[in-house]
Amino acid sequence: MIEKAAILGGGVIGGGWLARLIENGVEVSVYDPDPEAGRKLGEVLANAERAYGKLTLAPRPAKGAWRLAGSVAEAVEGAELIVEAVPERIDLKHRVYAELEAVNTGGIIASSTSGYKPTDLQAPLKHPGRLIVAHPFNPVYLLPLVEIVAGARTDAGVVERAKAIYAALGMKPLHIRKEIDAFIADRFLEAVWREALWLVKDGIGTTEEIDDAIRFGFGLRWAQMGLFETYRVAGGEAGMRHFIAQFGPCLQWPWTKLTDVPELTDELIDMVASQSDAQSGAHSIRELERIRDDNLVAIMQALKANDWGAGKVLAAYERQLYAAAKTAAQDFSRPFVTVETRVPAEWTDYNGHMNVSRYGQLFSDAADGAMRVIGADQDYISKGLSYFTAETHIRYLDEAHAGDAVTVTTQVLDGAGKKLKLFHQMHHADGRLLATSEEMLIHVNLGTRRACDPAPEVAARLAPIAAAHAALPLPEGAGRAVGQRP
């Protein structure tokens, strides 16, 4: 992983890169001449933090610091990765490269361009071997795909280094085999966009009706299987060969206008803009971004449960975060953090606060976090050993509402032998104690489903934590029965 990065251009894509980088602990300097850059970036980061809080419960590294730089040179000094996200004008990009090369000669230059070939971008560089295209998708802080394209003079080692960096950021680096205009994904988007404009121009459908055709139909399939795998399934048991034999002839029919470009007249622009405003103009752009992020998080979480597609990338990223937290030095002289998250809107009930079942879920997640700390993780379970919860007692002390940031800390009350007693405390970001949960777990052999002592390596990790926590005061509420008076 890198420690320091620079971003040149703080627009939508630059802001998304900033969010993903600082959420992964990278220090970032940003240069953008727009006097409103600070405000705009702050709003993007607020939405990103909200989304990340719901995307994963895995312990994330301390957030990286960021600052606005006064010049290109100031921003790129000492940067290991330089994200170029300036407007799509090659003369402007070349001027920016000349400025950065005067200060930084070693960092990877990663252009976020949507269409320029890296060979064309490399033309004026003194050190062209370090330039690649790293084309992301909006929102960059959530969508994992980044298309990596090498130019004619790009060093092979730079491509491999870039792939490792983006994978460590929780992304899916896709190395494009050959250098082409617009790469792979934008080729599809251009084709769909062109056909959609014809459908609007010819009065076949409105912008909303066309969007409905995508989001209620093939868009859901594409989100988890893509194009070719979707059509392979459509071919039935005979697979892709049958699909092509059945539907291949229609490729000769004049269904689409993909080779024709509709003229962007004022009339067509007004038609598209007015229909789009009518479709979703009731929401501000920031509100639409949050709605989009909530939907993307839900889809990625659903895919993660099936270890598929973008969810598989998220699962790998979480394993990476858990592994880093496991090896990091932790302070067990006090209760340790096992959950940090924000309350999703769908977790609230008719009273407007978090549903009681979700308190239980977070405390269950906290127990899972404690298991990872002591080494009773997925690898341990695969060996036939685990802990089962035998009893819990939850106290609901205060309200949590949609969007609230909450943290759960865990204290080991008893860690000897087969029994493990934990005490979880859930706090609001403002310091309020929201709830507590006392939990008794029993170590079991998954083969016999009977109690047994934990493996020596788990017992060895648990013992010093239990000893340190034994010196702590008994938390208020521990050992209480239902309805017991203070």
Task: Answer for the pair 454, 376: CB distance below 8 angstroms, yes or no.
Answer: yes
The number of angstroms, rounded, from the C-alpha of 259 to the middle of its chain's C-alpha atoms is 36
Task: Answer for the pair 88, 115: CB distance below 8 angstroms, yes or no.
Answer: yes
* 176 confidence band (pLDDT: 50, 70, 90): very high
Amino acid at 261: V
Beta-carbon contacts of 78 under 8 Å, excluding residues fewer than 6 positions away, are: 4, 104
Q: According to the model, what pLDDT value does residue 486 have?
A: 61
Centre a 10 Å sphere on the Cβ of residue 157 and count the other Cβ atoms it contains: 10
Residue intervals of the chain classified under CATH 3.10.129.10 are 329-470
Rounded to two decimals, what is the model's pTM? 0.78
| β pairing state of 419-428 and 405-414 | antiparallel
Is the pLDDT reported for residue 388 higher than 90?
Answer: yes
Q: According to the model, what pLDDT value does residue 35 have?
A: 95
Laid out side by side, the sheet with 108-111 consists of 66-68, 27-31, 4-8, 81-84, 108-111, 131-135, 145-150, 172-175
Q: Which fold is adopted by the domain 4-175?
A: Rossmann fold (3.40.50)
Please tell me the distance from the alpha carbon of residue 182 to that of residue 89, in angstroms, as a whole number.
14
Is the pLDDT reported for residue 170 higher than 80?
Answer: yes
Mean pLDDT of the chain: 92
CA atoms 395, 399, 299, 317: torsion sign? negative
Is the pLDDT reported for residue 54 higher than 90?
Answer: no
Of the candidates 375, 401, 373, 397, the residue with the CA atom closest to the CA atom of residue 386: 375
Please tell me the distance from the alpha carbon of residue 303 to that of residue 82, in angstroms, as a whole number.
32
Q: According to the model, what pLDDT value does residue 79 have?
A: 97
Task: Answer for the pair 18, 45: CB distance below 8 angstroms, yes or no.
Answer: yes
What is the three-class DSSP state of 277?
helix
Q: According to the model, what pLDDT value does residue 151 have?
A: 96
Q: How many CA atoms lie within 13 A of 382 on its CB side?
A: 3
| Host H or E run for residue 250 | none
What is the three-class DSSP state of 29?
strand
Of the candidates 28, 31, 107, the residue with the CA atom closest to the CA atom of residue 63: 28
Is the pLDDT reported for residue 21 higher than 90?
Answer: yes
State what percent of residues in the chain have pLDDT above 90. 70
Q: According to the model, what pLDDT value does residue 58 have?
A: 82
**Mean pLDDT score, 249-263:** 77
What is the three-class DSSP state of 145?
strand
**Mean pLDDT score, 136-145:** 96
Please tell me the distance from the alpha carbon of residue 212 to that of residue 180, in angstroms, as a whole number.
31
- pLDDT of 209-241, one tens digit each? 999 999 999 998 999 888 888 888 888 888 888
The secondary structure of 201-240 as a DSSP string is: HTTS--HHHHHHHIIIIIHHHHHHHTTHHHHHHHTGGGHH
Q: Which residue has the tokens 């109690």?
A: 451
Domain 329-470 in CATH 3.40.50.720? The answer is no
- pLDDT of 311-336, one tens digit each? 999 999 988 888 887 766 678 999 99
Residue intervals of the chain classified under CATH 3.40.50.720 are 4-175
Q: According to the model, what pLDDT value does residue 247 have?
A: 75
Is the pLDDT reported for residue 141 higher than 70?
Answer: yes
* 435 confidence band (pLDDT: 50, 70, 90): very high
Name the CATH architecture for the domain at 187-282.
Orthogonal Bundle (1.10)
* 264 confidence band (pLDDT: 50, 70, 90): confident
Residue intervals of the chain classified under CATH 1.10.1040.10 are 187-282
- pLDDT of 151-169, one tens digit each? 999 999 999 999 999 999 9
Q: Which residue has the tokens 């989009």?
A: 292
Task: Answer for the pair 77, 103: CB distance below 8 angstroms, yes or no.
Answer: yes
**Mean pLDDT score, 280-305:** 88
403 φ/ψ sector (left φ>0, alpha ψ -120 to 50, else beta): left
